[in-house]
């Protein structure tokens, strides 16, 4: 009996859930092939032959079209067929495989509090599901999970789809001269419960929170005179299935997320289609020197924390400690005291009931309290809910790198009059020493942020604050929606088994996800009215990436090589080019962002440094043509790209974080029964392929800070390609951030990893090189700093047996491209020290871990990546975006 005859005899199987699905002989063949591979006999022809025998047995045992076999029936017959055909070793591997699969299924059901697994749960691995369960799936008042991963992704996709529906030509007119009653639409907000699951798009039902977003989106567009129909007529059209074609769009958004090709920032997945409905990760509030305004910002911060967001505030407008307050003749307590108020509010208001909020606290270098601010966080327990950064402007930088005496004036925030003169060199040394000790403060280069800020003209002010992780600069009351494309998924396998990057699929994904994030602005339920207005005025989005390190592993390209940098540069240029081009297409159909005409866009300016600073012949895309399109049609979003932290998102997408190198290739999970290792999947595959994989080797790698470097059994090409954050010199970390920053509109979340033995002078050199490379900010992390927290928990006995040197690419840049003598000498000296230091320094072994530095959710160790702490066990993140 041939395969086609068999398949016509049996065309259905009964699944464990009781559901019936189409019979597919290839699935049997694949299961047998996996068992063959486990016994080093990966033979596809033999697997197909044995699968044929299995199906013949099924027919012999009386299974037919009318009597479908169950999954268990088929698996039992696979076992007996393998034994009968003399393949007992394969049968044993299959039995083990079956047992492991059953165990995995049971664990997944336990994690999800489910009696059966939905399609997403079957595809996602256990760790991904643990993160979804701990942070994203809805729960009831008994804290029991009440939705499946499929339902979660559906509620997000439906909400995003609502964004598209109201721009349909049946109901939308961009020109905006139509009068509709918004009161009629708003009246439905009083009766949301009556409309829970009453309307649907195709097969997708709208719950009451989806319905609320539909109302609010309608009201916004009707207020601008852009709705052709009344709200009741809109509902009539939905009921008459006039928008059912948008079910395909919803499915497209659903597939993007469940294929792990793209994920929006955490608040979107937590809150879309739910009561909170707040979808943004980043917010900035003002802090003017006025008690009423200070209290308003504090209250707004609490509402943002409650809704799942994080807040950045620049405290530089608050008068210095000890200054006289005219209205009371009292003495000002200074900015740091007001930061403590926000810190306390963060402590007591949990984010969406899920986690504490995060803050960015900024003081600019000219502020009289800057020295106190810098040293404030070197002690444990101070401002625990804050990242802190010093804001740098041109005047400070000029005093630092262009004057010998470094004279720099601190000024009163009240009237900008001089308060005292300091030395810029001493101030940067103080910042470097503090960061060396405790990883804080970071530096934010406001001069670089505002260099190509096309929005400054419309806001009549420069940007002066960022979100908690520093990658997103915003004006007061602006918010931003972030999302990340998983680059490692966008590879295709060639005939020779090697991988290549699929540039066409990348373009398609960028276009779809730009639209996704633009829709989020419309369906977002903002926590504060001013945020609603400011966010829609600029329509700022932040499309970014994750999986960069894994992509480079697949392509066998070293992260810190010229080829690695060239690829990353092209990836970032494509991301911004196609997202901006799609934003122009959206502007043509939906309208430009409201303040577009008041910006520098109509003058042909764009907010992209690479366009101006990289030679035209090195550009990969037609930027001049894009600028002409913007001048003609406007653009939908003031900025479109940001590389955000993706700590938790990367765990769900099962890939490396953001554009960071891998944290470690092997790390130890502490269990009572012995040593157990997590291994990077791509590296595990390569080690197996070359016959190197063993528990002994994994232990060696874990004990070597999770690195392959310097391990004699591992070929040199593997050591060069599969690099970790600790294998890469800090100057190369900066170079990688720089090649992304050239083309990214906003900024990059990145940690500049430094080994234990660097000096504060090296940290200062990193600042100088960062500014020279055009970075908008820098966060350094010296391994083993930050109180007692040990962040490289690769192994109990980790010791480094290798030396890290800057790449040829970086040294060439320093030698040939830096012209400022002060910067050149400092950076050159810092790198030269490392060239001549042949001694390999062992890092200190694990120290006692401070309780405060453990994950607040599961008490495992936190790691410091992309400028914030994340837990590699449960996905807790100290940042809000990922």
pLDDT, position 475: 97
Cα–Cα distance for residue pair 3/5, rounded to 1 Å: 6
Rounded to 5 degrees, φ, ψ at 598 are -90, 0
How many CB atoms are closer than 10 A to CB 12? Answer: 15
Residue 467 annotated in active site: yes
What residue ranges do the domains of the chain occupy? 3-135, 149-256, 282-459, 479-633
Q: How far is CA 565 from CA 542, 548, 734, 810, 856, in A?
A: 22, 11, 11, 10, 37
Q: Which of 87, 376, 467, 680 is catalytic?
A: 467
pLDDT at residue 327, rounded to an integer: 61
In the residue annotation, 421 being an active-site residue is answered as: no
Window from 280-289, 476-485, 664-673, 845-854 with minimum mean pLDDT: 845-854
| pLDDT tens-place string over residues 153-180 | 999 999 999 999 999 999 999 998 999 9
- On whether the CB atoms of residues 312 and 306 are closer than 8 A, the answer is no
Q: What pLDDT, on a 0 to 100 scale, did the predictor assign at position 846?
A: 34
Nearest to 778 by CA among 787, 765, 786, 766: 766
Provide the 8-state DSSP code for 875.
-
Q: Which residues sit opposite 543 in a β-bridge? A: 483, 641
Nearest to 598 by CA among 456, 746, 453, 449: 456
E strands in 519-635: 541-546
Pairing of strands 386-392, 442-445: parallel
Rounded to 5 degrees, φ, ψ at 55 are -70, -35
Say which DSSP state 804 is in.
Answer: -
DSSP state for residue 287 in the 8-state scheme? -
- pLDDT, residue 309, reads 85
Q: Is the peptide bond before 441 cis (omega within 30 degrees of 0)?
A: yes
Q: Which whole number is the average pLDDT over 347-371?
A: 81
Q: Are 667 and 702 in contact (CB under 8 A)?
A: yes
User: What tokens were used for 29?
Assistant: 């063949």
Consecutive H or E run containing 490: none
Residue 862: CB atoms within 10 Å: 25
DSSP letter string, 218-260: HHHHHHTT-BSS-HHHHHHHHHTTTTGGGHHHHHHHHHHHHTT
Q: Which residue has the higher pLDDT, 618 or 874?
A: 618
Contact 449, 473 (CB under 8 A): yes
Considering the chain, what is the average pLDDT of its residues?
A: 90
Q: Where are the alpha helices (DSSP H) in 39-87?
A: 44-60, 71-84
Structure tokens of 833? 């020290």
Alpha helices in 722-820 (DSSP H): 730-741, 760-772, 808-817
For 734-752, b/e burial (b = at least 16 CB within 10 A) is bbbbbbbbbbbbbbbbbbb
Q: Which residue has the tokens 């852009």?
A: 226
Which has the higher per-residue pLDDT, 445 or 673? Answer: 445
From residue 228, give the alpha-carbon distance in Å to each of 130, 218, 359, 673, 687. 46, 11, 43, 68, 62
Burial tier of 876 (Cβ tally within 10 Å: 0-12, 13-18, 19+): buried
| Residue 184: exposure state from Cβ atoms within 10 A (0-12, 13-18, ≥19) | middle
Strands 752-754 and 780-782: parallel
Q: Which of 207, 359, 450, 469 is catalytic?
A: 469
Gap between the Cα atoms of 147 and 130, Å rounded: 14
pLDDT at 787: 46
Alpha-carbon gap, residue 810 to 828, rounded angstroms? 11
Q: Nearest-CA neighbor of 354 among 143, 651, 142, 111?
A: 143
Q: Please, what is the angle between helix 730-741 and helix 760-772, to 10°?
A: 20
Where does the pLDDT of residue 853 fall: very low under 50, low under 70, confident under 90, or very high at 90 and above?
A: low
The pLDDT of residue 656 is above 60 = yes
- 604 sits in the region (left: phi over 0; alpha: psi -120 to 50; else beta) called left
Q: Which residue has the higher pLDDT, 32 or 166?
A: 166
Burial 629-662 (b: 16+ CB within 10 A, else e): bbeebbbbbbbbbbbbbbbbbbbbbbbbbbbbbb
What pTM, to 2 d.p., does this model score?
A: 0.91
What is the C-alpha separation between 848 and 828, in angstroms, rounded? Answer: 36
Burial 455-492 (b: 16+ CB within 10 A, else e): bbbbbeeebbbbbbbbbbbbbbbbbbbbbbbbbbbbbe
376 pLDDT tier (thresholds 50, 70, 90): confident
For position 349, what pLDDT does the model report? 84
CA-closest candidate to residue 348, choices 404, 298, 287: 298
Both structure tokens of 679 = 């291994």
| DSSP category for residue 540 | -
Catalytic residue among 154, 471, 573, 581: 471
The total of other beta-carbon atoms located within 10 Å of residue 309's CB is 32
Token representation of residue 441: 């403060």
Query: What is the pLDDT at residue 873?
Result: 67
Contacting residues for 688 by C-beta, under 8 A, at least 6 apart: none
Maximum distance among all Cα pairs of the chain, rounded to whole angstroms: 99
Of residues 101 and 446, more confidently modeled:
446
Give residue 59's pLDDT band: very low, low, confident or very high (50, 70, 90): confident
Q: Model confidence over 268-322: pLDDT tens digits? A: 999 999 999 999 988 999 999 999 999 999 999 999 988 888 899 999 999 998 8
The span from the CA of 437 to the CA of 531, in Å, is 37
> Could you give the CA distance from residue 453 to residue 612 in angstroms, rounded to a whole number?
13
Q: Is the pLDDT of residue 494 over 50?
A: yes
Q: Is 620 a catalytic residue?
A: no
Q: How far apart are CA 420 and CA 433, in angstroms?
A: 22
**Measured distance CA(292)–CA(299) in Å, rounded:** 11
Flag the least confident range among 269-273, 283-287, 725-729, 865-869: 865-869
């Amino acid at each position: 009996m041939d395969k086609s005859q068999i398949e016509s005899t049996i065309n259905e199987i009964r699944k464990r859930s009781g559901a019936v699905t189409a019979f597919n002989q290839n699935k049997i063949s694949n299961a047998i092939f996996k068992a063959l591979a486990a016994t080093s006999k990966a033979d596809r022809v033999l697997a197909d032959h044995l699968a044929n025998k299995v199906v013949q047995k099924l027919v012999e045992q009386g299974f037919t079209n009318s009597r479908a076999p169950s999954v268990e029936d088929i698996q039992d017959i696979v076992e007996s067929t393998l034994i009968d055909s003399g393949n007992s070793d394969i049968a044993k591997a299959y039995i083990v495989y079956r047992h492991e699969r059953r165990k995995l299924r049971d664990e997944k059901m336990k994690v999800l509090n489910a009696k059966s697994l939905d399609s997403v749960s079957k595809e996602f691995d256990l760790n991904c599901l643990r993160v979804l369960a701990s942070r994203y799936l809805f729960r009831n008042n008994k804290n029991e999970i009440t939705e499946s991963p499929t339902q979660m992704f559906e509620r997000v996709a439906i909400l995003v789809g609502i964004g598209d529906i109201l721009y349909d030509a049946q109901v939308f007119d961009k020109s905006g001269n139509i009068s509709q009653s918004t009161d009629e639409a708003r009246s439905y907000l009083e009766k949301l419960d009556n409309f829970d699951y009453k309307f649907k798009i195709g097969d997708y039902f709208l719950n009451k929170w989806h319905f609320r977003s539909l109302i609010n989106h309608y009201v916004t567009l009707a207020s601008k005179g852009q709705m052709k129909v009344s709200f009741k007529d809109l509902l009539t059209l939905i009921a008459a299935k006039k928008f059912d074609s948008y079910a395909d769009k919803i499915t497209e958004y659903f597939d993007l997320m469940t294929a792990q090709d793209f994920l929006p920032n955490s608040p979107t997945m937590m809150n879309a289609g739910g009561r909170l409905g707040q979808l943004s990760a980043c917010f900035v509030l003002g802090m003017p020197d006025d008690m009423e305004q200070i209290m308003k910002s504090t209250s707004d911060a609490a509402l943002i924390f409650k809704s799942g967001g994080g807040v950045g505030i620049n405290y530089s407008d608050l008068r210095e400690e000890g200054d006289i307050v005219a209205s009371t003749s009292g003495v000002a307590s200074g900015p740091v005291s007001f930061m403590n108020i926000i810190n306390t509010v963060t402590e007591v208001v949990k984010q969406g009931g899920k986690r504490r909020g995060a803050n960015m606290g900024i003081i600019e270098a000219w502020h009289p309290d800057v020295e106190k601010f810098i040293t404030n966080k070197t002690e444990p327990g101070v401002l625990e809910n804050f990242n802190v950064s010093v804001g740098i402007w041109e005047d400070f930088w000029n005093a630092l790198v262009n004057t010998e005496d470094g004279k720099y004036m601190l000024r009163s925030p009240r009237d900008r009059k001089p308060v005292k003169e300091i030395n810029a060199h001493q101030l940067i040394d103080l910042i470097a020493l503090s960061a060396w000790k405790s990883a804080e403060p970071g530096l934010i280069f406001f001069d670089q942020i505002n260099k190509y800020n096309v929005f400054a003209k419309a806001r009549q002010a420069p940007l002066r604050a960022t979100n908690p992780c520093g990658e997103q600069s915003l004006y007061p009351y602006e918010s931003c929606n972030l999302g990340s494309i998983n680059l490692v998924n966008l590879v295709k396998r060639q005939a020779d088994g090697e991988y290549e990057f699929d540039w066409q699929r990348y373009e398609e994904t960028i276009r779809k996800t730009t639209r996704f994030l633009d829709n989020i602005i419309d369906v977002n339920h903002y926590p504060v009215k001013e945020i609603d207005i400011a966010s829609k005025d600029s329509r700022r989005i932040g499309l970014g990436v994750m999986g960069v390190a894994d992509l480079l592993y697949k392509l066998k390209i070293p992260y810190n090589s010229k080829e690695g940098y060239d690829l990353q540069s092209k990836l970032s240029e494509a991301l911004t080019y196609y997202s901006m081009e799609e934003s122009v297409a959206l502007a043509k159909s939906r309208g430009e962002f409201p303040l577009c005409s008041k910006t520098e866009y109509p003058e042909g300016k764009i907010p992209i440094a690479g366009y101006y600073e990289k030679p035209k012949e090195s550009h990969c895309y037609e930027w001049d043509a894009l600028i002409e399109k913007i001048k003609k049609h406007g653009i939908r979003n003031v900025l479109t790209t940001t590389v955000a932290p993706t700590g938790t998102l990367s765990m769900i997408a099962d890939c490396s974080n953001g554009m960071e190198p891998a944290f470690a290739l092997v790390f130890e999970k502490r269990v009572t029964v012995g040593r157990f290792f997590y291994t990077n999947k791509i590296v595990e595959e390569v080690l197996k392929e070359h016959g190197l994989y063993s528990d002994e080797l994994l232990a060696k790698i874990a004990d070597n800070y999770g690195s392959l470097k310097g391990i004699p059994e591992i070929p040199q090409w593997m050591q060069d390609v599969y690099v970790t954050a600790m294998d890469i010199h800090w100057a190369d970390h900066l170079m990688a951030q720089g090649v992304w920053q050239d083309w990214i509109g906003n900024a990059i979340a990145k940690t500049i990893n430094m080994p234990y033995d660097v000096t504060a002078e090296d940290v200062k050199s990193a600042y100088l090189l960062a500014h020279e490379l055009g970075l908008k900010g820098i966060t350094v992390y010296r391994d083993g700093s930050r109180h007692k927290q040990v962040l490289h928990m690769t192994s109990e006995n980790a010791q480094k047996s290798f030396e890290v040197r800057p790449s040829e690419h970086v040294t060439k840049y320093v030698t040939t491209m830096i012209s400022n003598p002060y910067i050149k000498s400092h950076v050159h000296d810092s790198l030269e020290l490392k060239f001549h230091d042949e001694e390999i320094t062992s890092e200190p072994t694990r120290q006692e871990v401070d309780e405060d530095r453990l994950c607040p959710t599961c008490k495992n160790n936190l790691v410091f990546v992309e400028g914030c702490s994340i837990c590699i066990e449960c996905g807790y993140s100290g940042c809000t975006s990922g």
